[in-house]
Amino acid sequence: MTQLNPLTASLSLPADTRQLLRLQTFLEELSHNWVLGDEALFALNLALEELVTNTIFYGYADKLPHVIDLDFEADQTGTIRIVMTDDGKPFNLLNAPPPDSFDLPVEEREIGGLGIHFVKTLMKRIEYQRLNEKNILTLWYQPGK
């Protein structure tokens, strides 16, 4: 299930919020093995928690069990490529609306869209593909960006 080595790592996560602790533990292990540092670990935790949670909450039209696959690969420059694959409804976060305007008074601010805004802010590059009924999201994270 969970496989870690110096170059690639992968996690198959049941689409259930009760499994989020596994994501956290996995990222801590990855961070340890790849010597990522606190800032990178924080960024990966935040971006992936937001993406996985979003998929669990809004991604599925049925109540069947689903799995979210996360594949990690580090290149020689230290950039980490993450491929997230799920079999949920088509969702391209690159087309998602931005969060509420920061100029709105607090009474009118809503939290919606903030998680995706974090992902877009933290990641260096993002690509989306819909292939074989699956969402395939590829993210590039550069520590120290």
d(CA 16, CA 122) in angstroms, rounded, equals 24
Distances (CA, A) of 118 to 63, 77, 98: 28, 23, 11
* Residue 53 in contact with other proteins, rule: CB under 8 A: yes
* Residue 46 in contact with other proteins, rule: CB under 8 A: yes
* Residue 133 in contact with other proteins, rule: CB under 8 A: no
- Residue 24 near residue 18 (C-beta atoms within 8 A): no
Q: What is the CA radius of gyration of the chain?
A: 15
**25 Rama class: left (phi>0) / alpha (psi -120 to 50) / beta:** alpha
Q: Considering only residues 91, 117, 138, 140, which one is a binding residue for other proteins as defined by CB under 8 A?
A: 117
Q: Considering only residues 1, 3, 6, 38, which one is a binding residue for other proteins as defined by CB under 8 A?
A: 38
* Window contacting other proteins (CB under 8 A); options: 38-46, 86-94, 125-133, 135-143: 38-46
Of the candidates 50, 57, 32, 58, the one whose C-alpha atom is nearest the C-alpha of residue 114 is 50
* Residue 73 in contact with other proteins, rule: CB under 8 A: no
Kindly tell me which of 1 and 102 has the beta carbon lying closer to other proteins: 102
Give me 71's structure tokens. Answer: 């594949």
* Nearest-approach distance from CB 145 to other proteins, in angstroms: 12
Kindly tell me which of 75 and 112 has the beta carbon lying closer to other proteins: 112
* Residue 114 in contact with other proteins, rule: CB under 8 A: yes
Beta strand 80-86 with 134-141: parallel, antiparallel or unpaired? antiparallel
Binding residues for other proteins (CB under 8 A): 17-18, 20-21, 24, 38-39, 42, 45-46, 49-50, 53, 99, 102, 105-107, 109, 111, 114-115, 117-118, 121
